[in-house]
Amino acid sequence: MIELKIYTAMTDEEINELVGSGLGYNSQKPLPDYCNDWAAIGPSIFDNGIELRVTWCPAGSGPVYWAIRDDDDNTYSDYQGSPQRAAAVCLLMIKEPK
């Protein structure tokens, strides 16, 4: 399994490419922006039972979005700034070979 810290170091474009590849992206069309577009990542959030939560940080540093899939494998990701990106990383972690 790739560690969460490696995913968090990736750009949105790198995450989008990995998610697109895992979902069978058709290269004849522009790559969807899974990290920022609800219409792109929304169906995968629903289909994979990903839950989104938000936690506010102290001192006005903004929200941290949590994407969680907690059936038995306790897969999660967190990302400050974009709930869609948190869900995209969670999806990648779910789809990784165990």
DSSP assignments along 28-52, one per residue: TSPPP-TTT-HHHHHHHHHHTT-EE
Beta-carbon count within 10 A of 67 CB: 27
Q: Tell me if residue 24 falls in helix, strand or coil.
A: coil
Domain at 4-95: CATH code: 3.30.2120.10
Q: What is the pLDDT of residue 5?
A: 60
Q: What is the pLDDT of residue 94?
A: 81
The span from the CA of 45 to the CA of 48, in Å, is 6
Q: Judge whether 49 and 69 are in contact, CB under 8 Å.
A: yes
Q: What is the pLDDT of residue 50?
A: 85
pLDDT in tens, the chain (98 residues): 455 568 878 999 999 999 998 888 877 788 999 999 999 999 999 998 888 877 766 666 666 667 666 566 566 666 667 889 888 988 888 877 65
